[in-house]
Amino acid sequence: MWKSVGTICCVFAACCVASAAERHTAIEQVQPRVVKLFGAGGFKNLADYGSGFLVSPDGYIVTVWSHLLDNDVVSVVLSDGRRFFGRLVAADSSKDVAVLKIDAEDLPYFNLDEAAVAGPGSRIMAFSNVFKVAAGDEPVTVMHGVIAARTTLSARRGRFNSAYQGPVYIVDAVTNNPGAAGGVLTNRQGQLLAMLGRELKSNESNTWLNYAVPVSEFRNTVRDIIAGTFTRDELGTGDNPKYETAANDFGMMLVPDVVFRTPAYIDQVVPESQAATQGLQSDDLIVFANGELVSSIRVLREILGRLPPGDNLTLIVRRGERLVTVQLEVPREK
């Protein structure tokens, strides 16, 4: 009897050692593929740091779309401490994903085609620069946990729902805090599972969520962005007819367009206009229009100029620490 118990204990101990060694190897493989991001922030307690991960050997990086990317360039720090300027290639608000590019070669990366899947009860690891623990060649934070569920995201920031409402992994670990968004969720073998999301509260429980978006939800978008074929059907092409729709048709008065890339801030909202009725406010920054990134007032004018009378316009604006979604309709008559 004692011999049997001893044998079982020895086997169990051996398994624990093997499991620990496996995790250690996985961590060593994942760390070089995760990057630290430093960009816009500081205003109204917005963090100026975040996380991302390499998806190609020539410097394409995936992260969450956030205020961090409001600057023309973002500082990218690799695991070995090397620093690069990252350029925003494109973003998709419906997937809450953005792609950056740095000028580098022969980098370790995640192959999105080899991403794994997992179910409830699966043990996971979360890698991110949560709370800005790493600024140079220090390793990012690694958290251990378990997938509690796979469900559809129903969450908000403040009073406003998240733009992304698709499938997510709910994680039994405190993974989503300042700086964590854009990090990665992997299994114990280091295989990529998902991207860590932003700080959101559940619509059902009103508690902060720890969640990640499965790779399958944004893989095709990232492929198209890298290939230069990313489009949004509702935006059409340059061959479409031009219309004269403008911001003031909705009751929005923008700040003066004084430089080439003047941000699309709302200066005033006309009382009793459609913009006022839908809750737009002065100092709101328009960041997406019908899913297209608005990098300047000039870009917003181009987008609005493609909208015919009676068409719909979905705006995502940054208001303080929140992203607010507003639905408008192009007036049929001026």
Phi, psi at 198, each rounded to 5°: -85, 180
Q: Is residue 12 part of a domain?
A: no
CB 155 within 8 A of CB 321: no
Question: Amino acid letter at 186?
Answer: T
Same domain, 276 and 148: no
**What residues pair up with 184 in beta bridges, in sequence order?**
127, 195
Residues in the chain: 334
The residue out of 179, 203, 227 marking a domain boundary is 227
Residues 162 and 34 in one domain: yes
Q: What span, in angstroms and rounded, lies between the C-alpha atoms of 241 and 252? A: 23
Provide the pLDDT for residue 15: 46
Q: Are residues 295 and 196 in the same domain?
A: no
Q: Would you give the distance in Å from CA 200 to the centre of its chain?
A: 12
In angstroms, rounded to a whole number, what is the distance separating the alpha carbons of residues 270 and 326?
Answer: 16
- Asked whether residue 194 is domain-assigned, the answer is yes
What CATH number did the domain enclosing 311 receive? 2.30.42.10
Whether residue 143 contacts residue 208, with contact meaning beta carbons closer than 8 Å, is answered with no
Helices (H) and strands (E) in the chain, counts: 4, 21
Residue 100 phi/psi, 5-degree rounding, is: -110, 165
- Burial zone of 17 (CB within 10 Å; 0-12 exposed, 13-18 middle, 19+ buried): exposed
Mean pLDDT of the chain: 86
Q: Are residues 210 and 244 in the same domain?
A: no
Report the pLDDT value the prediction gives residue 72, as an integer from 0 to 100. 65
Over the stretch 179-194, which tens digit does the pLDDT of each residue have? 999 999 999 999 999 9
How many whole angstroms separate alpha carbon 35 and alpha carbon 137?
A: 10
- 253 and 197 housed in the same domain: no
Would you say 83 and 36 are in contact if contact means Cβ atoms under 8 Å apart? no
Say if residue 57 is in the same domain as residue 174. Answer: yes
pLDDT for the residue numbered 286: 93
Residue 232 — φ and ψ, nearest 5°? -115, 125
Does residue 195 sit in the same domain as residue 241?
A: no
With tokens 């403040």, the residue in question is 158
CATH of the domain at 176: 2.40.10.120
High-pLDDT (> 90) share of the chain, %: 56
Token pair 């050997």 is at which residue? 57
How far apart, in whole angstroms, are the C-alpha atoms of residue 16 and residue 26?
15
Phi/psi region, residue 166 (left: phi>0; alpha: psi -120 to 50; beta: rest), is beta
Q: Please give the single-letter amino acid code of residue 141.
A: T
- Same domain for 41 and 172? yes
Tell me what pLDDT residue 323 has: 87
- Express each pLDDT in 193-204 by its tens digit: 999 998 888 888
Final residue belonging to a domain, choices 161, 192, 227: 227
- Do 176 and 161 sit in the same domain of this protein? yes
Low-confidence residues of the chain: pLDDT under 50: 1-3, 8, 11-18, 233-240
Give the number of domains in the chain: 2
Q: pTM, whole model, 2 decimals?
A: 0.72
Q: How far apart are CA 108 and CA 114, in angstroms?
A: 14
The pLDDT tens digits for 271-330 are 999 999 999 999 999 998 888 888 888 889 888 988 888 889 999 999 987 889 999 999
For position 42, what pLDDT does the model report?
55
Domain co-membership, 247 together with 265: yes
In a domain, 22, yes or no: no
The H or E element that residue 302 is part of is helix 297-304
Flag whether 73 is in a domain.
yes
Helix (H) or strand (E) segment spanning residue 95? none
Q: Which domain holds residue 172?
A: 30-227
